[in-house]
Structure 1
């Protein structure tokens, strides 16, 4: 089941992610939101699902 995170500070973004044995995989980002921005603002170690699928 995917989780949704709405960040409510001045810069608002929305991500959909899965908690997996490998870590937190970001599945979908809102328009105009970059993975690196989410990584920086959350401070969490995230896995970019798109890059993960390409490397598999």
Structure 2
């Protein structure tokens, strides 16, 4: 999840990018929370995000 968030952040910052990513800000925010506030996020929260957003 950290890698995905970082990749989306770089895509959005690339000056020639015209890619639209749904929920990009939420994904980047989650990445930042995992990377910088790892002690305040529970495994259950991460698992719920994965289950709700993974293709079936």
Q: Provide TM-score, normalisation by structure 1.
A: 0.25
Q: Which has the higher strand share?
A: 1
Q: Provide TM-score, normalisation by structure 2.
A: 0.25
Please identify the structure whose Cα radius of gyration is greater.
2
**Highest relative contact order (Cα 8 Å, sep 6+), 1 or 2?**
2
